[in-house]
Structure 1
Amino acid sequence: MAVHFFHTSDWHLGQFFHNHDREYEHAQFLDWLLEQIQEKQPNALFIAGDIFDVINPASSAQRQLYQFLADAHAIAPHMQTLMIAGNHDSGYRIEQVEPLLAKFKAKAVGVIQRNADNQLDLDRLLVPIYDAENKVIAWCLTLPFLRTAEITGLNEQTQNAQNAIAYLHQQLIAEAKRRKTEDQALILMSHAHMQGGETSDSERPIIIGHEEALSTALFDDVIDYVALGHLHKPQKVQHPHIRYSGSPIPLSFSEIQYKHQVLEVKIDPQAAPEQRLQLGSLLIPRSVQLHRIRGSLDEVFQQLKALPQGTVERICQRDYLEIEYSTDVPPPVDLRQQIEQTLPEQRYRLLRICRVYTPQEDQAADQSKIDLAPPTPDSLFKQLWSKMGYQPDASVERDFMQLLIEAQHSLEQEQP
């Protein structure tokens, strides 16, 4: 029998976008998703990590998730919801509410655990998917964001992160093969950066064992579908059955052109190879638009005047606006005031005005962008490294990012 499920990821509930919360946009997405669940009645919903935007999400973000799970269970009581932790999530936090999740036929896998013999606890990572008659029709191999401390040191094959990742995949897939029958599908859900994946500027770097991207060679041919999370652009990775669903809303201006979607997947293990996997895209309506205006100051003001007019009463429903202008002379001191006076009232949220300095012909050809965005730990490290007189060194940068991730992991474990 075919298994029918939705693949989504990177919700980032609780995100603040230039100090504006996204609660309204997430609410619109979740309401839309409930409509799709009610109409399609899938066997399962997979959320492939980065459920929340931060490891300690606000109560309003947690309430959105749990209210959605309750509503989804009410309209599709047979549907299972399976979630994994991403690098933005606290794996321990999302697992703490397991009794609550069970009431909504939901499960969260946040961390890689070991059993009493210090071996990988594979039982927790292999989740059966049932049909309406309570028959197992598929197995989902769940791999949350893999942290070095959780997977290394098991045996001589796991002395470093890359070997440990390969060993974990091998052991998990081998156990899945032992359990599955010919009429059952195998689905692997993972939160990782795969080689060949296209990124945006809103994804936090993942570096594991000095290697940022993992190889699709980790996935055995027996896997029918790989449901990935982390990259926000919907895309396949080398093979049609290895997919990022992408984020449901644009999380930065670099994602304006993304076609945000939920993937609808059907797998019939007993069908002919060319008919075994059926993929469909459910395009998500964008409830709030993002506008990015670029050009000279004259061109910027022309584009501002051409923007859609009309009043939007609620601030949370107003479009976002970013302006990047080029000039070879100092801008007027009242530039922001001029821009705001040109815009229709109560329609846009002006988030950022950025100047790109355009040098004269007799000056250096390189352009330099002046931006007042707050520095990040990695950008500060690179600045200090340069000021100390050292040349750029990729291995040093990777070591620093590894230490940064481990420090963040330690903070997560200290969370109450």
Structure 2
Amino acid sequence: MRLLHTSDWHLGHRFHGRMRLEEQGAFLHWLLEQIQAHTVEVLLVAGDIFDTTTPGSRAQALYYRFLHQLAGSSCRHVVIIGGNHDSPSLLEAPREILRQLNIHVLGMVDDQLDKEIVLLPGQATEAPELLVCAVPFLRDRDIRQAGAAETLEEKGRQLRQGIQDHFQQVCQQAEQIRQEYNPQMPLVVMGHLFVAGGQTQEGDGVRELSIGGLDRIDGSSFPAGIDYLALGHLHLPQKVAGNPTRRYSGAPFAMSFSEVGQKKEVLLIDCAGREITPTPLEVPCFQPLASIRGDLSPLLEKIEALKAEERPYWLELQYEGATVIANLREQLLEAVADSQVSILRIRNRRIFDHALQQSKESETLDELSVEEVFARCLEAHQIEPSQRQGLLQAFAEIKRAVAEEDM
């Protein structure tokens, strides 16, 4: 049986104000072609289907059109879990209808753990050939009860333990089912979470749901009986602790200019009994990006080189010259006029340095995480160290509530 693992589509995402629906539609069309070309039988989508809990109608149309088109392909089963960006109720609303098309959607946890266990039959027989534990993004309220006067560290420890316990319990039930049907049946586990040691990229939009990453769990927390672990949440494709059968597929698009030139992938998974062979499949770049830096003359030269390619580049420019140029923006925008190149971001370090010449720090708001901005506020208002822990704890609660709010 051949599977395909993908995640973090973020349909409806805006890139520096630009809608990406055309780019995302091109990816889904390409994905459908690969499913057919490689005779994929099972598609695994590990969360963050949409970019927000209230996706627009066009983003939803992309999603449902793709699912409809799968019905005519080699793909016989689809398993989808919700991510932290998704609305659990929106994903689950058509759940029963989609199930008739062998599309299994798990948007939220349930009191009955067996609902997260999906048995998939083979093509030649109705006997199950694949066992999938589909664990959606685990929210704080799903796995932990808040207590009075808890410290931030205690909440983080309870959250990590709750996540670990949930995976252990689901996998334990799945193992019992496997032993009942066929001990050699492969067990695939899906999750949407942050495993400690995972790599992120500056500005890639991965949400930290607690200050200091206290919700990150150790890679060794997953049961040993898992044959393949299909994860979502981190946007860089990567192995978990170097294990080739425990992986993040990563997002299929660059989520920030810091990812320019980075290869994106989905994963083909071949199952021969419990022998699992993952093979990365590189995703083409459907929207060219470029980030160039330097003095004005080199910037203008590189812009001309990009224009000569006659491709619709989205461009980030970082001016690093020694001279303060008051009309820098106007000159750069004029350079791309009447071309396919669009400037989405200009970072003028010299203007900023000049404005903050009395300060020892040189940083912009978009270079800081929300935690760092809050820390700067505490410093600026000279908050006493004894009061900071309580404020940080309150801030973490607010941030988590905003991230988890199901609109």
**Taking structure 1 as the reference length, what is the TM-score of the superposition?**
0.85
Q: Which residue of 2 aligns with 1:126?
A: 117
In 2, Cα distance between equivalents of 1:127 and 1:399? 39
Residue of structure 2 equivalent to 1:315:
none
The residue identity in structure 2 corresponding to 1:305 is E
Distance 1:82 1:395, change over 3 A: farther
Query: Relative to structure 1, is the Cα distance of residues 130 and 24 closer, same or farther in structure 2, using a 3 angstrom cutoff?
Result: same
Question: CA 1:211/1:64 → structure 2, altered by over 3 Å: closer, same or farther?
Answer: same
Report the residue type matching 2:257 in the other structure. F
Shift of 1:305: 2.2
Spell out structure 1 runs of 4+ moving beyond 6 A: 363-367, 391-395
2:208 partner letter: P
**Residue 253 of structure 2 corresponds to residue 249 of structure 1:** yes
Distance in 1 (CA, whole Å) between partners of 2:61 and 2:299 is: 41
Alignment of structure 1 residues 184-333 onto 2, 5 Å: 184-200=185-201, 201-202=203-204, 203-207=206-210, 211-238=214-241, 239-269=243-273, 276-309=275-308, 318-333=312-327
1:209 Cα deviation from its structure 2 partner:
11
Q: 2:400 corresponds to which letter in structure 1?
A: I
Q: How far off its partner does 1:293 sit?
A: 0.7
Measure how far apart 1:374 and its partner are: 11
Residue 402 of structure 1 deviates from its aligned partner by 3.7
Cα distance change on mapping 1:53 and 1:398 into 2, 3 Å: farther
Q: Which residue is 2:342 aligned to?
A: 349
Shift of 1:310: 5.8
Cα distance in 2 between the residues matched to 1:142 and 1:396: 36
The residue matched to 1:327 in structure 2 has which SS? Answer: coil
State the shift of 1:366 in Å: 6.3
CA positional deviation for 1:377:
5.5
Paired AA for residue 67 in structure 2: L
SS in 1 for 2:349: strand
Deviations 1:259-293 (A, max 9, x none): 111100012235xxxxx221111111111110101
For 2:244 and 2:137, the matched residues in 1 are separated by 23
Q: How far has the Cα of 1:15 moved from its partner?
A: 0.5
1:101 correspondence with 2:98: yes
Q: Is the 8 A contact 2:209 2:403 kept in 1?
A: no
CA distance in 1, matches of 2:190, 2:57: 27
Q: Alignment identity in percent?
A: 30
Bigger mean CA offset, 95-104 vs 291-300: 95-104
**Aligned AA (1:226):** L
- In 2, Cα distance between the equivalents of 1:310 and 1:98? 46
Residue 386 (str. 1) matches residue 379 (str. 2): yes
- Which of 131, 140, 146 is the aligned partner of 1:139? 131
Q: Distance in 1 between matches of 2:263 and 2:121?
A: 31
Summarize the Cα distance change of 1:404–1:248 in structure 2 as closer, same or farther, 3 Å threshold: same
Distance 1:235 1:377, change over 3 A: closer
**Aligned partners of 1:36, 1:382: CA distance in 2, in Å?**
46
Structure 1 unaligned blocks of 5 or more: 115-120, 271-275, 313-317
> Structure 1 residue 174: deviation in Å?
1.0
Q: Indicate whether 1:4 and 2:2 are aligned.
A: yes
More moved, 301-310 vs 288-297: 301-310
Q: Give the secondary-structure state (helix, strand or coil) at the position aligned to 1:67.
A: helix
Q: Indicate whether 1:112 and 2:109 are aligned.
A: yes
Amino acid at match of 2:286: S
Aligned residues: 386
The structure where helix makes up a greater share of residues is 2
- Unaligned residue ranges in structure 2 (runs of 5+): 147-154
Deviation of the 1:100 alpha carbon? 3.1
Change (3 A) 1:69 1:146: same
Structure 1 window deviating more from structure 2 (295-304 vs 194-203): it is: 295-304
Q: Residue 4 of structure 1 aligns to which amino acid in structure 2? A: R
8 Å contact from structure 1 (residues 46, 83) kept in 2: yes
Q: Secondary structure at the match of 1:82?
A: strand
User: What is the RMSD of the two structures over their aligned residues, measured on CA atoms?
Assistant: 2.8
Following the alignment from structure 1 to structure 2, what is the Cα–Cα distance between the partners of residues 234 and 61? 24
1:64 paired with 2:62, answer yes
Q: How much has 1:137 moved relative to structure 2? A: 1.0
Could you tell me how far 1:349 is from its partner in structure 2?
A: 1.5
User: Deviation per CA, 1:315-336, whole angstroms, max 9, x where unpaired?
Assistant: xxx2200001113442132x22
Structure-2 change in CA distance of 1:173 and 1:122 (3 Å): same
Tell me what 2:150 maps to. Answer: none
AA aligned opposite 2:138: L
**Cα deviation digits, residues 352-409 of structure 1 (max 9, x gap):** 111123979xx899672446x5997545533322222137868864652343222443
Deviations 1:235-276 (A, max 9, x none): 101111110101111111111132111100012235xxxxx2
CA distance, structure 1, for counterparts of residue 40 and residue 285 of structure 2? 23
Give the one of 47, 67, 83 matched to 1:49: 47
Kept in 1, the 8 Å contact 2:303–2:335? The answer is yes
Say whether the 8 Å CA contact 2:307–2:341 is kept in structure 1. Answer: no
Shift in Å, 1:346: 3.1
